Amino acid sequence: MGEGEEVVEESPVGATATSATKSPSRPRLSVLPLIALIFYDVSGGPFGVEDSVRAGGGPLLALLGFIVLPIFWSLPEALITAELAASFPENGGYVIWISSAFGPFWGFQEGFWKWASGTLDNALYPVLFLDYISHSLSFFARFFSLVFLTAALTYLNYRGLHLVGMSAIALTAFSLSPFIAMTFLAIPRIRPNRWIKFDRKRLDLRAYFNSMFWNLNYWDKASTLAGEVEDPGRSFPKAIFGAVILVVVSYTVPLLAGTGALDEAKTGEWTDGYFAQVGLEIGGRWLQLWIQAAAAMSNMGLFEAEMSSDSFQLLGMSEMGMLPAIFAKRSKYGTPTYSILLSATGVIILSCMSFQEIIEFLNFLYALGMLLEFAAFIKLRIKKPDLYRPYKIPVNTIGAVIICIPPTVLLVVVMCLASTRTLVVTGCVMIFGFLLYFVIEKLKEKKWVEFITTSLEKVEIDEEAFVGLLLEGSSVRKEEVLQEDNESSGEGITKIE
C-alpha cells in the first residue's frame, strides 16, 4: 500500500467516526465551508429566480412561493437530510440511506437518478454564465466557450474539496454583495402595492412550479461527501439550518427590492439574467456590471458544489461495490479523479439542451429520488429505531410521516405537470438504470472489471459506542473504525483486524 492511500473497512454505516477519521493529511470540511457548499448546492443567490416572476404572472406568487414553500418543502427536506447525513457519515449519502432501507438495487437506482439529475443541473451553470455575459455568441463560439469553462472549473474541483469549500465562502460573499447595495438603493423607490400584483392570464403553472422547485431543491446533495466532513454528526445539522436561512433571505430580499422598485408593467420581462437590468435601472451601469460579475462568480460556485457532490457520490457508490473500483481512485489532492471526469463529460454533452428542458428533466428525476428518500426515512425510523442518530428530528414515527406529506404532495404536483416529452425521456432513463444495475452485477460476477469487495467482519463495540447499520448485500473498502472519545467512559470501538 502506497503512502497516503486509505484502507477502508466495511463500515457499520451510521457510526459517526467512520469516514470522519480518515487520513489526517487531508483537510476536513468544517461548518462554514459546508454551509457555503450547501448554499451553492441549493441556490447560489437570486440568479435564476427571475423566471418565477414572469411564470407566476407577477410578483405576488413569486414572493409567496419563496416564503411559503421553504416551510413545506425546504425545511422538511433539510431536517431529514440533517438526521440521515449525521447518522450515515459516509461518502455516498442518500445512496446509503436507500440501500439500508430497501436494499442495493434501489440504492443503485437512487444513485443513478440523482447523478443524472445533478449532471443535468450542472449543465445549466456554464449556460447561465454565458447568458449573463453575452447573448450574441455564435453556436461554435458558445460551444467552445462551454467546453473551456467546464474544463477550467473541473480542474479547480480536481485540486481539492477543501479548496472548493474555502472558495465557496468567498464566492458567497461576493455573489450576494451587489444585492445588499441594490436593496438599500431601492428602498426610496419601493411601492409595497407592487408586491401584490398578479395577472392570471400570464400564469404558466408548469414553468412556475418547475422554477420554484429547481430554486429550492438539492438540500440533500452535500450528504454525498459526508465522509469528508469534520465531525459530521454535529456539523451537518448546523450547516443545514444555516444554509436554509441564507437561501431564503438571498431569494426574498432581492425580489422584494426589485419588484417593489420597478414598474409592474415590466413583469413579463423577468427572465434569466434580468437582475442585471434591475441593477441598471436602480443603481446605474456600475451596479449592472457588479451583478453580472456576481452572477458569473455564483455560477462558478454552483458548478463546483454540484461537481463535488456528484463525484463523491460516485466515489461512495464505488466504495460500496456498486460501481467499478476505478471511480474510488483519488488524486494526490484527495479528489475522485475518474468520477470527476465522468461528471464533467456528462455536463458537456447535456449543456446543448435549453434551459427549460434541463430544468423539467432534472426536476422529474430529482422528484423520483426524493420520494425514495422520504420512504427510506420513515422505513428506517420503523426498521432501525435504535440506530445511533447524533441529530434526530424530535418527532415519533407518526410525526415523521406527517413531516413527509407536504413535500410529497409538491413532488407529485411537479411530476403531474411534466410534459409528455419529459415522461418519455425520464422513462427511458429509468429503464436504462434498471438494465445498468444487472449489467454491473454481471460484470462483478464474471470479474471482468475490478470492484471493491470485502467479507463481513465482526466489530466489537461497548454499550456507549455508535451503533451502525450494516448495508445488506453491499460491499465496501477496508478501514479502521474508531469511535470518538467518550468523556464518561473513555472507551471506544475496537480496531478491526
Closest CA to 217 of 132, 296, 294, 114: 114
pLDDT category, 137, cuts 50, 70, 90? Answer: low
Question: What is the number of structural domains in the chain?
Answer: 1
Judged by phi (left if over 0) then psi (alpha if -120 to 50, else beta), residue 58 lies in: left
**In this predicted structure, what is the pLDDT of residue 458?**
32
What span, in angstroms and rounded, lies between the C-alpha atoms of 262 and 279?
10
The answer to whether residue 430 sits within a structural domain is: yes
Tracing cell 455508535 back to the chain, one arrives at 466
User: Per-residue pLDDT for 487 more than 80?
Assistant: no
The answer to whether residue 123 sits within a structural domain is: yes
Angle between helix axes 337-350 and 139-158 (nearest 10 degrees) is 160
pLDDT category, 467, cuts 50, 70, 90? Answer: very low
Closest CA to 162 of 335, 336, 316: 335
128-137 contact pairs (CB < 8 A, 24+): 128/47, 128/48, 128/272, 128/273, 128/295, 128/299, 128/355, 129/295, 129/296, 129/299, 129/300, 131/272, 131/273, 131/355, 132/47, 132/273, 132/276, 132/292, 132/295, 132/296, 132/299, 133/292, 133/296
The answer to whether residue 308 sits within a structural domain is: yes
pLDDT in tens, 15-71: 333 333 344 456 788 889 999 999 998 988 898 888 899 888 889 999 999 999 899
The answer to whether residue 483 sits within a structural domain is: no
pLDDT in tens, 429-459: 999 999 999 999 999 888 898 898 743 333 3
> What's the chain's length in residues?
497
**In this predicted structure, what is the pLDDT of residue 9?**
36
**In this predicted structure, what is the pLDDT of residue 7?**
36
CATH at 437: 1.20.1740.10
The answer to whether residue 466 sits within a structural domain is: no
pTM of the shown model:
0.79
Tell me the residue range of the domain where 59 lies: 19-446
Taking the CB of residue 459, how many other CB atoms lie within 10 A of it? 19
pLDDT in tens, 401-415: 999 999 999 899 888
The answer to whether residue 334 sits within a structural domain is: yes
The answer to whether residue 495 sits within a structural domain is: no
215 and 144 in contact (C-beta within 8 Å)? no
pLDDT in tens, 212-246: 888 888 899 889 888 888 888 888 889 999 999 99
The answer to whether residue 143 sits within a structural domain is: yes
The DSSP secondary-structure symbol of 271 reads -
Average pLDDT, the chain: 80
What is the arithmetic mean of pLDDT over 476-492? 37
Q: Show Cβ contacts of residue 49 under 8 Å, excluding neighbours closer than 6 positions.
A: 62, 66, 211, 215, 251, 255
